[in-house]
Amino acid sequence: MTLKKISGGVCAPAGFTAAGMHCGVRKNREKKDIAMIYSEAECSAAAVYTQNKVYGAPITVTRENISDGKARAVICNSGNANTSNADGVEKARKMCDLTAEALGIKSSDVIVASTGVIGQSLDIEPIAYGISQLPGQLSKTGGTDAANAIMTTDTKVKEIAYEFTVGGKTAKIGAIAKGSGMIHPNMATMLSFITTDAAISPEMLGKALKEVVDRTYNMISVDGDTSTNDMVAVMASGLCGNETISAEGADYEAFKAALGAVGDYMAPMIASDGEGATRLIICNTYGAADEKTAKTIARGVIASSLVKAMFFGADANWGRLLCAMGYCGAEFDISKVSISMSSAAGSIKGVENGFCIPFSEEEAKKILLEKEITVDIYMNQGEASATAWGCDLSYEYVKINGDYRS
């Protein structure tokens, strides 16, 4: 399949427009805090949610709304998570009602999301004002404003779009995401909204989304904290004109590959923008006995606080990698394991047959001072592989989270 990177983000696919603005949820008027994405056509819809047992009111409402597999709009605020509030569900539904009224659609066709501080009551007045203004600002160039509006402690706007072929038709897929802190595997990583003009049934859309999320978005860890609010949601307008994908086959695989490309782009983007991060850490596991083992080891390594601190200090402490593997819960034979690390400055091996081996500290230091570092773990026990993305743990992370509410 030919995949071409294009501009436009969530607005690249046919039928979608977006907007973002400051409405007053956040005190800083320089920061946008409410986003809207709209489809002119009814869409197939699917989402994957946080596995935290304490989850935000918007997740309750979005689950209800897209239980029929249909949606036409996304409304999302930053600055307040609308979680652990007695009136949270009522206000999340109110956000949907206001969006429906402003766009002339059904309230049940709205995906609602919130991100920010947990446990503080959400003031609906600024939200209502923002929703009243956003329809007039919707445009094909509004994706970047929407991407800005869902950011919390993010330092980088995260958006992407691709063009691909499915069923003989040219289709497009686009996405925005936010994610910097409270990011850990098992779909508690971020907010990400994906749009496409491919025609696909809700059932197959949900299947593709879960498969892609398990391999990409769920393979990120910044700090080991599982958020209460986060979701990945996708809407498919069908306006590219392909025959609706309703079963597995070549068209389904083509669509899943495009969706997978979005995940492959967003996962390292989010990991590299971890709160206080100075380095992106990529961990590849090769030759594991099965996929579960490969994933568990890769995630275990990038989730270790000691490993993260090691990379912050550019200290090639191979024992920390082995230690993280040993307690991650995977079954394996350590005597067959080799590990190397690489970056733009070169590559170095420090573990062979399960034992640490002599290496050049000077060379290792140069490699670990780069902004992107790859850990390659060779299990030599099977054919399965996996990739996980993480970041280092810096002093700045503690500073950011020590006064997060201020």
Per-residue tokens: 377: 């773990």
* Active site positions, annotated: 189
Name the E strands within 312-401.
Answer: 338-343, 346-352, 355-356, 372-378, 384-391
Nearest partner of 26 among 63, 64, 79, judged by Cα? 79
How would you write the pLDDT of the chain (406 residues) with one tens digit per residue? Answer: 689 999 999 999 999 999 999 999 998 888 999 999 999 999 999 999 987 777 889 999 999 999 999 999 999 999 999 998 999 999 999 999 999 999 999 999 999 999 988 889 999 999 999 999 999 999 999 999 999 999 987 888 999 999 999 999 999 999 999 986 444 444 334 799 999 999 999 999 999 999 999 999 989 876 555 567 789 999 999 999 999 999 999 999 999 999 999 999 999 998 888 777 889 999 999 999 999 999 999 999 999 999 999 999 999 999 999 999 999 999 999 999 999 999 999 999 999 999 999 999 999 999 999 999 999 999 999 999 999 999 988 887 777 666 655 4
Per-residue tokens: 333: 């034979």
Which helix (H) or strand (E) segment holds residue 205: the answer is helix 202-215
Contacts of 83 (CB under 8 A, 6+ apart): 54, 55, 56, 57, 114, 118, 119, 228, 229
Q: Is 262 left (phi over 0), alpha (psi -120 to 50) or beta?
A: alpha
Nearest partner of 143 among 199, 207, 192, 86, judged by Cα? 192
Burial of 34 (0-12, 13-18, 19+ CB in 10 A): buried
Q: Could you tell me the sign of the dihedral formed by the alpha carbons of 9, 12, 13, 15, in that order?
A: positive
Per-residue tokens: 400: 């950011």
Name the E strands within 121-279.
Answer: 158-166, 169-178, 191-196, 220-221, 231-236
Instruction: Provide the 10 A C-beta neighbour count for residue 403.
Output: 7
Domains assigned to the chain = 4-272 (3.60.70.12), 280-402 (3.10.20.340)
Per-residue tokens: 309: 């601190």
